[in-house]
Copies of this chain bind each other. A is one copy, B any other.
Amino acid sequence: MELLKKRITKDGKALSENILKVDSFLNHQIDPSLMDKIADEFCGKFSGTAFNKILTVESSGIAPAVMTGLKMGIPVVFAKKAKPSTMNEEYYSATVHSFTKQKNYEISVLSKFIKKGDRILIIDDFLANGSASRALIAIAEQGGAKIDGIGIVIEKGFQNGGKLLRELGYRIESLAIIDEMSLNSIRFRD
C-alpha cells in the first residue's frame, strides 16, 4: 500500500534495527482517514472471502479493525489484556510474548463472543514474532472458530512471525512489509 509506505517513511521512526515507532498515525495518535484507506485495502485484498467477524487486540488493532468491520458489515471483537481472574464469565485466553515490550501477558475474550463455525478475519497493527496473532488464533480455535485470514498493517519481514504463520497455512495480507531497518532507515519489500 503505497500511501502507507510513504507515511511510514515520512512519519515513522526506526529507533533501531528492530523497533519502528509509528505513534503519530497508528499507535497513540490515529489518522482516521488513513485507517479508512487501510480498511479499503483490506477489503480489496480479502474480497473473495466471506468473514462473519473480525478479531483484534486492544488497543492499536481497534481503529483499523472497526473501519474494516464497518465496510464489511461485520462485528469486531477485541481481546483484552485484563487478567483473566477479573473476568467473571467464561473466557478463552492465550499468552502473548511482546517483542517490543519484552514481556509476556495474557489476552482474553469472553467465550460468548466466539461461536463455533465463526469465519474470522484477524486484524492487527503489527506482525513481528507472530505471538499476538498466534494468541488470537488460539483463542478463536478454543471457541471452534476458523481463521480465514489475517490482515496486518505493518509486517516486520525480517522477523519470523510471517514466515511461521504462512508455513502453518494461514493467509496473511500485510499492507507494508519492512525487510530491513537501521536507525532512521527503513527498507520495504517491493
Please name all residues of chain B whose beta carbon is closer than 8 Å to the beta carbon of A70 when the two chains form the complex. 32-33, 35-36, 67
The CA-CA distance from A28 to B77 in the complex, in Å, is 6
Our pick among B28, B66, B74 for the contact of A66 (Cβ within 8 Å) is B66
- Mark the stretch among A41-49, A57-65, A146-154, A172-180 that contacts chain B: A57-65
Taking CB as reference atom, which chain B residue is nearest A109?
B28
Taking CB as reference atom, which chain B residue is nearest A56?
B30
Our pick among B23, B32, B69, B109 for the contact of A69 (Cβ within 8 Å) is B32
The CA-CA distance from A23 to B111 in the complex, in Å, is 12
Q: Is A31 interfacial (CB 8 A cutoff)?
A: yes
Q: Do the beta carbons of B29 and A77 come within 8 Å of each other?
A: yes
Q: Do the beta carbons of A110 and B28 come within 8 Å of each other?
A: yes
Our pick among B30, B66, B109 for the contact of A30 (Cβ within 8 Å) is B66
The CA-CA distance from A179 to B53 in the complex, in Å, is 34
Please name all residues of chain B whose beta carbon is closer than 8 Å to the beta carbon of A29 when the two chains form the complex. 75-77, 113
The CA-CA distance from A58 to B81 in the complex, in Å, is 12
Quick one: given A28-B78, A30-B78, A58-B59, are A23 and B66 in contact (CB under 8 Å)?
no
Q: Which residues of chain A (3-23) have a CB below 8 Å from chain B? A: 23
Our pick among B25, B28, B76, B112 for the contact of A32 (Cβ within 8 Å) is B76
Kindly list the 3 A-B residue pairs having the minimum CB-CB distance in the complex, ordered from nearest. A32-B70, A32-B69, A58-B59
A-B pairs with beta carbons under 8 Å apart, 6 shown: A25-B75, A30-B62, A30-B66, A32-B76, A33-B70, A59-B59
**New A-B pairs, 13, CB < 8 Å, besides A24-B113, A63-B63:** A28-B77, A28-B80, A28-B110, A29-B113, A31-B75, A32-B66, A32-B67, A32-B74, A32-B76, A33-B70, A35-B70, A63-B66, A63-B76
